[in-house]
Amino acid sequence: MIKHRIRPVAFYLPQFHPIPENDDWWGKGFTEWTNVVSAKPLFRGHYQPHLPADLGFYDLRLPEVRQAQADLAKEYGIYGFCYYHYWFNGRRMLERPFEEVLGSGQPDFPFCLCWANEDWTRAWYGREREVLIKQQYSDEDDKQHIRYLTKAFADRRYIRVADKPVFLVYHAARLPDPRKTTAIWREEAHRLGVGELYLCKVENSLGEIHADPTELGFDAAVEFQPDRLACGPSRRRAGLWRALWAVANRVGFADRVSSVYDYPSIAKRMLQRPVPPYKRLPCVMPSWDNTARRKTGASIFRNATPEVYGEWLKTVVEEFVPNSPEENLIFINAWNEWAEGNHLEPCQKWGRGYLEATRDALLTTREK
303-335 per-position pLDDT tens digit: 999 999 999 999 999 999 999 999 999 999 999
pLDDT at 258: 78
**Cα torsion angle, 53, 55, 56, 60, sign:** negative
What does the angle CA 226 – CA 228 – CA 232 come to, to the nearest 5 degrees? 120
Going by the DSSP 8-state scheme, the letter that residue 276 receives in this structure is: P
Residues contacting residue 24 through CB under 8 Å, at least 6 positions apart: none
What residue ranges in the chain does DSSP mark as E strands? 7-12, 80-88, 91-93, 111-115, 120-122, 127-133, 160-161, 164-169, 198-203, 220-223, 259-262, 280-281, 283-284, 299-302, 329-332, 336-337, 342-343
Give CA–CA dist 115/167, Å, rounded. 8
Give CA–CA dist 111/158, Å, rounded. 5
Residues 148 and 88: beta-carbon distance below 8 Å: no
- State the chain's mean pLDDT as an integer: 90
Residues 106 and 67: beta-carbon distance below 8 Å: yes
Residues 168 and 114: beta-carbon distance below 8 Å: yes
What does the angle CA 166 – CA 171 – CA 175 come to, to the nearest 5 degrees? 100
pLDDT at 257: 59
For the chain, the residue count is 368
Q: Which class is domain 7-234+263-363?
A: alpha beta
Give CA–CA dist 66/99, Å, rounded. 12
Q: How confident is the model at residue 5 (pLDDT cuts 50, 70, 90)?
A: confident
Give CA–CA dist 221/218, Å, rounded. 8
Q: How confident is the model at residue 123 (pLDDT cuts 50, 70, 90)?
A: low
Overall pTM > 0.85 = yes
Residues 15 and 59: beta-carbon distance below 8 Å: no
Give CA–CA dist 60/345, Å, rounded. 14
pLDDT tens, position by position, 211-264: 899 999 999 999 999 998 788 777 654 344 445 444 444 433 334 557 899 999
pLDDT tens, position by position, 52-86: 999 999 999 999 999 999 999 999 999 999 999 99
pLDDT at 230: 81
Per DSSP, helices labelled H in 45-138 are 63-75, 96-104
Per DSSP, helices labelled H in 272-342 are 291-294, 306-319
**Domain coordinates of the chain in residue numbers?**
7-234+263-363
